[in-house]
Amino acid sequence: MGIRYLHTMVRVKDLEASMAFYKLLGLKETRRHDVEEARFSLIFMAPEGQEDCPVELTYNWDGDDELPSDSRHFGHLAYSVPNIYETCQHLMDNGVVINRPPRDGRMAFVRSPDNVSVELLQEGEALEPAEPWTSMENVGHW
């Protein structure tokens, strides 16, 4: 089973202050994804020459009054896998709950024994939606 580290996500309350902090550490913005419909932005920042190992800053445009005290700063680890269905089946066969099944052939979420959320993303294009994944419901939080 091949797996590749993608990013670590953290939520931020003040985007400009957070970006300035990470810039002081030597990170630079490598890409940005603004989602108007859901009113949030994803800003990826990484050290020079290590663009494939970013931190993802997740910023909610309408604010997040619970930050910084609700311990939701850390979001998830993310890894790409060669076949998301095979990976999820392997995990399920070994007792791991698939919290967000890969109904879209692209993305799934699981949790570690310590409750760390892990995002799994299909390498390249999404696979064709397939059963049993398309019929599976979300379980718990992811």
Q: What is the dihedral of CA 63, 103, 80, 51, to 10 degrees?
A: -30
pLDDT in tens, 3-52: 888 999 988 888 998 899 889 878 899 999 999 999 999 999 999 998 99
pLDDT-above-70 percentage for the chain: 95
Catalytic residues: 119
pLDDT-above-90 percentage for the chain: 65
CA–CA separation, 65 vs 26, rounded Å? Answer: 28
Q: Per DSSP, which regions of the chain are E strands?
A: 4-12, 27-35, 40-47, 55-60, 74-81, 98-100, 107-111, 117-122
pLDDT in tens, 86-97: 999 999 999 999
